[in-house]
Amino acid sequence: MNKYIKTSLSSVMLAGTLFAGFPSIDASSKDFGLLHKAEASSFSSNSSLDLAIVNEEKLIESFIKRGLLSKNASAEEKQKFLKNYLQIKGKQSGVKESDPLAAKVKAAEAEKQSKFKDFNNGLLNGKGNKNGHLKGNPEPVKEGTSPGVNKKGKLLTIMVEYSDFTHNNLTPEETDNFYTDYHTEHFEAMIFGDKGEFIGPNGEILVSQKQYYEEQSGGTYTIEGNAYGWLKVPGTAAYYGGEKGTGHDNVTPGGAKQLVKDALIAAKKAGVPLQDYDLEDPHDLDGDGNFWEKDGLVDHLQIIHSGMGQEAGGGTLGDDAIWSHRSAVFYDPDGLGVGLPGFYDYTVMPEDGAMGVFAHEYGHDLGLPDEYDTQYTGTGEAVGYWSIMASGSWAGKVPGAEPTGFSPWAKQYFQSALGGEWTAPTVLEWDEVTTKGTQFLLDQANSPLGKNNQAIRVNLPEKKTPVNTPAAGSFEYWGGQADETDTNMVTNVDLTGKTTAALTFDAWYDIEPQWDFAFVQVSTDNGATWKSLGNNNTRSDVVDEGSKHLKLHAWFHWNN
């Protein structure tokens, strides 16, 4: 009889941990000690501290106004204070809520990432002009014809105001995106407006979130929906956004996730047609591989709160403001699939939020990661203003009102996940790159239907990661480094004639507590069923299935 031993490691990225608020610190030259300590501690890039939407100028203004930073501070001191402020804000809050959908969300995301990894969509082999320059001036872009909308997102926008801070309490001095009235029509024009319908704060005609996604996708992806509000929620601004002593949102009780729950209650009372906003199953909750069917949850939820976001200093609210973010919290009082749809994935933005911030957060909702220096190291970033998922979300004369486009990588992800006409990059293999060079004629980035090369992708050699020398034997198993992934090692062990067997191993791991797990299983029926093994380092209450999971990640070494 053969027994099979299987090890499996999974790394689950938390849907979002909220960060807002900051301990009072006098940033005179003699009191930078606490901030300096923050530099020595790294913080997780898996947090929901979205640095792409940070308004540095407004944040620094708020530091000075609140007495946290001297008005005479040098530019270097201001940047140092800001950097360390963000590093402290980016540390985990230590509070993680139970998520009953986490396992299914992880599995669906792993499937999407696997599909994206193998995606080629008929990508073209590179056919550039080698050795020399292109002759003459390039012809103007020759646009093709869009085949029409391929996919459509149904976006629910709910505007909520606190019990102690209603909307329309902003001043022109607080925000660059000031309107005298942030009424429902304003948000419907900014999010869903057609050409000429969205007017900026200075009377300029701007592009709506809907138009932006249509332009980026070659007219094959669009959004539709309505804005509802303003709806009153029972809590104060501090209840939902106030900081803890550690500088994070007041996550228990209250917190931004409670705002999401209270928004659902208010929406039901107001008669918002939630049933119209459940058309997708983005996490494949029923496991049938169909992402385009109802799942009992609102597909895309945007919550707009009264007041400013803390990423721009918070205005009058200061540390009681919520930091704009994308996250998830499961809330469905009727029960999943019963009655009206519940809430899960959501984004939260402020009353004065610009279209670029809204489009950036919606990009997260569709599966995109950030592309900026997520640890705010100050060493710079290659993407910068070239992508909306980096600093480009703040582009425009009115900051954030005219964001730059998606990066070629982001467009290729959308092409894999949504289809349509996002991009068809020309591919060049690494061994085709020569010292003499190869030239390609590229269409401008906002011409996804152009007739020339839209983007050039160079396939680099497979990355090699050096590991340490095995403690014994010739090999080690390495689980890799990635989010939303499962890795497995399976080996056959012949125990014929044996009465006992023991498994021992050395392990090295670097994990996010409570969210990354490893487990060891055995099968005595050729892999038909598996039994989890446990010891003093395991627990059985980590997942619903009750498997005994080792809280390990990375290397396993088999002693033999």
Which residues are catalytic, by number?
361
Residue of 91, 82, 86 whose CA lies nearest to 64: 82
Q: Where are the beta strands (DSSP E) in 105-241?
A: 124-125, 129-130, 151-161, 198-199, 205-206, 221-232
- Identify the three-state secondary structure at position 297: strand
Residue located via tokens 């993407």: 383
d(CA 550, CA 195): 55
468 C-beta neighbours (distance < 10 Å), count: 9
Angle in degrees, CA 341, 345, 348, rounded to 5: 115
Q: Which residues, 6+ apart, have CB-to-CB distance to 507 below 8 Å? A: 518, 550, 552, 554, 555, 556, 557
Do 97 and 257 touch, CB atoms closer than 8 A? Answer: yes
Residue of 151, 267, 168 whose CA lies nearest to 218: 151
Instruction: Look up residue 157 and give its DSSP letter.
Output: E
d(CA 422, CA 447): 10
Q: Per the structure block, which two tokens stand in for 19?
A: 């960060």
d(CA 268, CA 432): 59
Do 4 and 523 touch, CB atoms closer than 8 A? Answer: yes
